[in-house]
Structure 1
Amino acid sequence: MSVEAELKALRAEIEQLKSREQIRQQITRYGRGQEWLDGSLMDEVFYDDAHVDFGFFVGEWKDYKPVLMEIEAHGETTFHLCAAPQIEFEGENKAYAEVYGIAGGRGHDGKTNVFGGRYFDVWERREKTWKIARRIFKLDWHIDHQFPQGEAVMHPELEPAKPRSPQNPLFRRMGADVTG
């Protein structure tokens, strides 16, 4: 292999590694946007015209976002973990990812729900930014538990991050500057 060909191959490999890391950052940003109830952060993950299918909602991201934010706002505490992303590229501007997700939370009524499932995503790079163009979520399992009155108490010495909003002093904006 010539030096020029080797250099070209290395540049392509580096570009793919950068793209893979940008997609991973976006996957993490998805959970953060829900936790902090930050719709603008979520917009950095999805194209407005992205097609989403969560079973109970099928349509475009721009129409799903208010539904999602309303659901998330009803939880006293919530948790979202996206893990083990398998990312495969098709050319320079398209990628597919399968991501395991665990999400849950506790409502003000003491009811706790935990969901485990998988996200099947199509990612596109438009104007140098990777975002989700299509997402399908499939639920693999669900745990629903109602604690008796008074038993679903947080440890008093461990306070949750309240309020769950970008106005919380613990919130740090780590937006498009990371992936742009």
Structure 2
Amino acid sequence: MNRREAIAAVGWLMGGTILGADLIVACTSKAPKVNGLFDQDQVAYLDEVGETILPTTSTPGAKAAQVGSFMAVMVQDCYKKEDQQVFLKGLQQLEEASKKKLNKGFLKATPQERTALLTQLDAEQKEHQKNKKEEEPNHYFRMMKELTLLGYFTSEVGATKALRYLPVPGRYDGCMPYKKGDRAWAI
């Protein structure tokens, strides 16, 4: 056996060990992780929450913009640990609120039931925001709603289908005529 064959054999052994361990880990977990905080089931759940907040109409909805994946990245990379915990606990609280109000999980509810539930949670978060102290965390639904809007309107789908988009804008016109029903401009 020469040196090249020995290195190739060691490579096969090491590669098999690494791939084998990854395969075992992937097969034992119930839902593959998207990042350190969220698994694919949670991201799909967030997509459904986003789609309820911004449903598909004449323009694509939040699910088309993949806001669930956006939320997962933003919460992991940009939120403080305390806010991450509030957000993750909020997923459970949302499911519990759905079971309490609708006698079924959020994903099994009809779009009308989902909208009614999220409207109730929105009123709850507005009341929470009025009465909260500065050091207290935001309400979990406020975080979800803000991330849905941010993720949607900064996505390609939101910027080009829901808003008017000019990839290379022309001159600035501060007095542009507006007709009722015109879409806003994406920047």
TM-score range, shorter chain: under 0.3
Q: Which has the higher strand share?
A: 1
**Could you state the TM-score of these two structures normalised by the residue count of structure 1?**
0.27
Q: Which has the higher helix share?
A: 2
Larger Rg: 2
